[in-house]
Chains A and B, each alone.
Chain A
Amino acid sequence: MKDIDILKLTAVELSAKICSGEISNDKVTQTCLNHIKEVEPKIKAYQLVLENGALAQPKVSGEKCSSLAGVPIAIKDNIMIKNHPVTACSKMLENYIAPYNATVIEKLKNAGTLLIGKTNMDELAMGSSTETSAFMRTNNPWDLSLIPGGSSGGSAAAVAAFTVPLALGTDTGGSIRQPAAFCGVVGFKPSYGLVSRFGAVALASSLDQIGTFSRTVKDTAVLFDIIAGADYKDPMCEPLENPSFSQGLDEANFKGLKVGVFKDVDYIKLDPEIKKAYKENIQKIKDSGAEIVELEIPSYQYIPAIYKIIMCAEASANLAKFDGIRYGYRAKNVRNLTEIFEKSRGEALGREVKERILFGTFVLSAKNYHNYFDKAQRARTVLINETKEAFKKCNVLFTPTTTQMPTRSGAELSEYCDVFSTASNLTGASGISVPAGLLGGVPVGMHFSAPRLKDADALKAAAAFEKISGWDSSKLPSALG
């Protein structure tokens, strides 16, 4: 089998061939590592490639084979793999070595996957372009001058560039689904509480969720089956035994499904090309047998404000742990304890991170708490209530993933760019972005959201959409062609 044909296999196909002995485990790993060497100078998706770490994973074949045995997977660099660096792409953690495995890593190791590397990201997951990484920029595999999105831009680009069929990311307001849309891959944020976050560097704890990247919905579901489930180490983790989200996806279709779609609203300024693609896809879904239900959720217009306040407030509290004392960067030439704190944080944290901590401190301060933090938490309840009402009328909500296309590096995205994905973090719902074609040579993503803990519905709708979208998931991105 040619190397490119191995790289183009889905995770499920690849594992079947490894288990049957058709391809060796080592051949797969070596093929991936070679491909990473070839494309990495252009893409810069990896913060660290675990050449020895990957090859040292247990060999799996024959009877012991699990559904993803031998499959290479890339891990966002804010998830801990024991004895390897976990930097979250911050100077604060530049020399920090993970003393234990994240729960998801334990589960991936038990399933026999190959952990092939740590991927680039916005510093401490704060950003939407992977440009705030303290170490390097990642380029979009479809056009190297464009951002890959973020914060999990490295994981999205790694899958889009066919270096791995699977990757993990984290998503606080769209950090998996927005880069997935920009890079032309499937990105899934499960419902809040379905995947343990133990061992992931926290950003905003009421919103954070670990999720997945892949090129097909089936691969996403199979990976989700492995990483989902109860974990006493994450108190927000739902008791869920033996999940099987990958069941029934092959037969998924839109017949009889009620699909909620958004009415045109002024405050969400959709890129005209995205709007056109959205309308066309609504028609395709309708033609496939779904009942289209037009909806409006008025509080969506407040999502950027609600998100900014809650995310920054929680981040400012979570990041207080970076004090330069127990681990991480410590400033030199300090005179007292207060200077250790102020200079270590001042020197090692990037500008975006410091702005968010300061803004979070602002909204939590006694003078502003009532008008901002408390108000945002109440506004969040309004959004949750309106969303619950909307889901009484439909099974899934269908929207574009983003309101705009990826920008050139250095340009700012609108605060409404991620409004559809952020809605699922604020309400705890699942959300999945699926490639829906190219606009001007660059991928565009469409997004399905299902009520919290009804992740199977979102996955089934995404699988049904994949069959009618016309997207070829085995096509190499143009910048690599």
Chain B
Amino acid sequence: MTGEELKKLGILAKIEIKDAEVESYLKKLNSEIAIANAISELDTNGINPTTHVSELRNVWRDDIVKPASKETFDEMMKVAPETEGTFYKVEKILEA
């Protein structure tokens, strides 16, 4: 992995990576990649991937929106960093 690839990963993962951190991140991630590379030698031809080990199947219900109680709503808003009225407040999402 190169510094450029790392910066791109940071953008994808939405994690700020400072220039001073690049070298140490690369050292760690490249050693992780080396460990992960071990599986390339395992023959997995004709083997299906496992996404989870449960044999349960999804249970469906009608997709009906039910109003949340005022209490639940207040609880959810109370833990938000910044709110205005009934909304979460964020910085602008479009540059002028």
Q: Which residue of B lies closest to A347 (CB)?
A: B16
Contact A99:B79 (CB < 8 A) given known A235-B58, A345-B14: yes
The contact of A380 among B36, B50, B80, by CB within 8 Å, is B50
Query: How would residues 363 to 404 of chain A score, 1 for a CB under 8 Å from any chain B CB and 0 otherwise?
Result: 101000001101111111110110000000000000000000
Complex Cα spacing A40 to B78, Å: 32
The answer to whether B44 touches A379, judged by C-beta atoms less than 8 angstroms apart, is: yes
The answer to whether A346 touches B17, judged by C-beta atoms less than 8 angstroms apart, is: yes
Consensus secondary structure, chain B interface? loop
- Asked if A336 is an interface residue, CB under 8 A from chain B, the answer is yes
Question: Closest approach, in angstroms, between the C-beta of B45 and any C-beta of chain A?
Answer: 9
Question: Closest approach, in angstroms, between the C-beta of B54 and any C-beta of chain A?
Answer: 5
Complex Cα spacing A342 to B10, Å: 8
The answer to whether A377 touches B51, judged by C-beta atoms less than 8 angstroms apart, is: yes
A428: chain B residues within 8 A (beta carbon): 53-54
The answer to whether A302 touches B39, judged by C-beta atoms less than 8 angstroms apart, is: yes
A337: chain B residues within 8 A (beta carbon): 90-93
Q: Which residue of A lies closest to B41 (CB)?
A: A302
A312: chain B residues within 8 A (beta carbon): 32
- Asked if A349 is an interface residue, CB under 8 A from chain B, the answer is yes
- Asked if A452 is an interface residue, CB under 8 A from chain B, the answer is yes
The answer to whether B39 touches A306, judged by C-beta atoms less than 8 angstroms apart, is: yes
B42: chain A residues within 8 A (beta carbon): 299, 302, 375, 379, 382
Question: Closest approach, in angstroms, between the C-beta of B67 and any C-beta of chain A?
Answer: 17
B48: chain A residues within 8 A (beta carbon): 378, 381
- Asked if B20 is an interface residue, CB under 8 A from chain A, the answer is no
Complex Cα spacing A235 to B56, Å: 8
Question: Closest approach, in angstroms, between the C-beta of B11 and any C-beta of chain A?
Answer: 8
Question: What is the interface of chain A, defined by CB distance below 8 A to chain B?
Answer: 96-97, 99-100, 192-193, 205-206, 232, 235-236, 238, 299, 301-302, 304-306, 308-309, 312, 316, 320, 323-330, 334-343, 345-347, 349, 354-355, 357-363, 365, 371-372, 374-382, 384-385, 415, 427-428, 452
Question: Closest approach, in angstroms, between the C-beta of A360 and any C-beta of chain B?
Answer: 8
The contact of B80 among A326, A361, A385, A415, by CB within 8 Å, is A326
The contact of A308 among B36, B54, B56, by CB within 8 Å, is B36
B78: chain A residues within 8 A (beta carbon): 97, 99
Complex Cα spacing A325 to B84, Å: 12
B72: chain A residues within 8 A (beta carbon): 99
The contact of A377 among B6, B9, B49, B76, by CB within 8 Å, is B49
The answer to whether B35 touches A362, judged by C-beta atoms less than 8 angstroms apart, is: no
Q: List 24 A-B contacts (CB under 8 A).
A: A97-B79, A192-B52, A299-B42, A301-B38, A304-B38, A325-B90, A336-B91, A336-B92, A341-B14, A343-B16, A345-B14, A346-B17, A357-B13, A358-B9, A358-B25, A360-B13, A362-B9, A365-B12, A375-B39, A377-B49, A378-B49, A380-B50, A381-B47, A385-B47
